Amino acid sequence: MKISFSLKPQLRLKAAVRLTALSTLAIAGPACSAESTESYADGEIKSAVTFPETAWRTVEADNLMLIDTAYGVIGVELFPEIAPNHVAQVKALVRDGFYDGVVFHRVIVGFMNQTGDGQNGNGTGDSELPDIAAEFTFRRGEDMGVTLVSSRGSERQQIATGFYKGLPVASQPISQAILTKDGKVAAFGLHCKGVTSMARTSEPNSANSQFFLMRGKAEHLDAQYSVWGATVMGYDYLTSFKVGVVGEDGFVPDQMNNVKIAADLPEADRPTVQVLDTTSDAFTNWISTQSYDDVCDVQIPSRTQ
């Protein structure tokens, strides 16, 4: 599926110099996952199982970001209930045309595709908007249903993992909410393939416009960077981008041709993206048939209409 958008003029922004958001991170630390080679027709995440129509959840148009690339359109579901300030800033930048024509300036196999420097295009720039305070974790009540499917950690100290909508998360069991003052429990998004997270410098509250789309699992980023979205369309395109760093000899980066919020498109031009409802009986039955060692090994089925 290919969606064409009209390009807006690129904004000219202040020349404030910033560190490449993830360059301060020791990549040689915890190992990133090997890059998978699975392929999904039309960018959907297919399943051999047929699910009832009631098991599908439609992504809200106002929380669906569409990134047009040379390979196809990547659809990212945004989660304002998890990272409200990050989602608000991303939406504002999208609607200003800030991301149109911006390159993927840092792409690492098995790790991530970094972009969002609409100022300099090399990881040293940001936008004119203020930096965003960290939203590394969130608190959830019974209104935010998480289906737990596995756990991480040692035998003596484990944390449950599962899905909120289509987003992989780690969370305390909701049964513990009765013990907390706000009636909620702690949770955070996990850096699995397809997750989108905000880049920053070594200062936790320095996120601004740069973000990255995960190509693989990176547990060492969990609860250290603000997760705000998950890929629900064009999942297979995540590993299509040319690998390299802007400034390296011979590296010609791919770019985001243009970026839109689906709600801003004419209704006839909007894709309808549906994700298997992770609170449904159909999901419970399906996940019981899957073989996986970690929550990041599970890709939630999706479809585009």
CATH number, domain with residue 155: 2.40.100.10
Q: What is the mean pLDDT of residues 131-149?
A: 96
Band of pLDDT at residue 212, cut at 50, 70 and 90: very high
42 in a structural domain: no
pLDDT at 64 over 80: yes
Please report the pLDDT score of residue 34 as a whole number.
54
Q: What is the mean pLDDT of residues 269-274?
A: 96
Give the residue numbers spanning the domain of 189: 55-304
pLDDT at 70 over 90: yes
| pLDDT-wise least confident of 5-9, 126-130, 192-196, 298-302 | 5-9
Strands 255-256 and 146-153: unpaired
The residue whose two tokens read 């950690």 is: 153
Band of pLDDT at residue 158, cut at 50, 70 and 90: confident
pLDDT digits (tens, 9 = 90+) for 17-55: 333 334 333 323 334 555 644 333 345 666 667 899 999
39 in a structural domain: no
Please report the pLDDT score of residue 153 as a whole number.
83
pLDDT at 248 over 70: yes
Helix (H) or strand (E) holding 95: helix 84-95
Q: What is the mean pLDDT of residues 57-72?
A: 98
Please report the pLDDT score of residue 27 as a whole number.
29
277 in a structural domain: yes
Number of domains in the chain: 1
Q: Which two tokens stand for residue 172?
A: 């305390």
**What is the distance between the terminal CA atoms of the chain, rounded to a whole angstrom?**
10
Please report the pLDDT score of residue 2 as a whole number.
34
201 in a structural domain: yes
Q: What is the mean pLDDT of residues 104-123?
A: 98
175 in a structural domain: yes
pLDDT at 59 over 90: yes
144 in a structural domain: yes
In contact, 284 and 147? CB cutoff 8 Å: yes
- CA 153, distance to chain mean position in Å, is 23
9 in a structural domain: no
64 in a structural domain: yes
pLDDT digits (tens, 9 = 90+) for 160-191: 999 999 999 999 999 999 999 999 999 999 99
Produce one character per residue of 27-42: b if its CB has 16 or more CB atoms within 10 Å, e if not: eeeeebbeebeeebee
Q: What is the mean pLDDT of residues 97-119?
A: 98
